[in-house]
Amino acid sequence: MAQTILIKRSSSTATPTSLANGELAYSSDSNKLFVGRPGGASGDIDAIGGKFYTDIISGAASANTASKLVLRDGSGNFVAGTITATLTGNVTGALTGNADTATILATARTIGGVSFNGSANINLPGVNAAGNQATTGNAATATAFAAGRTIAITGDLAYTSPTFDGSGNVTAAGTLATVNSNVGSFGSTTAIPVLTVNAKGLVTAASTAAIVTSWNLDADTGTTNAVAGGETLTVAGGTGVATSVSGNTVSIAIGQAVATTSNVTFNNVAVDGTLSSDDITAANMTASGNVIVTGNLTVNGTTTTVNSNTVNIGDAIITLNSDETGTPSANAGLEIERGTSANASILWNETGNYWQTTDGAAANVTSQILTAGNFAATFTGTLDGGTF
211 vs 283, which has greater pLDDT?
211
Is 294 a member of any domain? no
Q: For residue 186, what is the DSSP state?
A: -
CATH of the domain at 19: 2.10.10
Phi and psi for 57 in degrees, rounded to 5?
A: -65, -45
Q: How many domains does the chain have?
A: 3
Q: Where does a domain end: 185, 210, 235?
A: 210
Report if residue 43 sits inside a domain: yes
The stretch 182-194 carries a mean pLDDT of 85
DSSP assigned state of 316: S
Does residue 367 sit within a domain? yes
Non-local CB neighbours of 92 within 8 Å, separated by 6+ positions: none
Q: Which amino acid is at 119?
A: S
Q: How far is CA 168 from CA 48, 144, 147, 231, in A?
A: 81, 9, 14, 69
> What gap in Å lies between CA 187 and CA 194, rounded to an integer?
8
Q: How far apart are CA 367 and CA 148, in angstroms?
A: 156
- Residue at a domain's end among 58, 78, 97: 58
Residues constituting the chain = 388
pTM, two decimals, is: 0.33
385 within domain boundaries? no
pLDDT value, residue 92: 66
Q: Which residue has the higher pLDDT, 275 or 319?
A: 319
**Terminal Cα-to-Cα distance of the chain (whole angstroms):** 157
DSSP 75-144: TS----S-------S---S---S--TT-SS-SS-EEETTEEE-SSS----TTB-TTSPBP--GGGTS--S
CA distance 315 to 312: 9
The string of pLDDT tens digits covering residues 15-52 is 998 888 888 999 999 999 999 887 666 668 989 999 99
Per-residue pLDDT tens over the stretch 66-78: 778 888 888 888 8
pLDDT digits (tens, 9 = 90+) for 76-88: 888 776 777 676 6
The answer to the question of residue 360 being in a domain is yes
CB within 8 A of 235, min separation 6: which ones?
Answer: 243, 245, 250, 252
DSSP 3-state assignment of 55? helix
Q: Is 295 inside a domain boundary?
A: no
- Domain boundary (16, 43, 58) is at 58
User: Does any domain span residue 365?
Assistant: yes
- Among 340, 346, 353, 339, CA closest to 367: 346
The boundaries of the domain holding residue 345 are 332-375
C-alpha separations of 377 from 328, 352, 373, 380 in Å: 21, 11, 8, 10
Strands 45-49 and 114-116: unpaired
Tell me the helix, strand and coil percentages in the chain, rounded to 5.
5, 25, 70
pLDDT at site 29: 95
Confirm whether 277 is domain-assigned: no
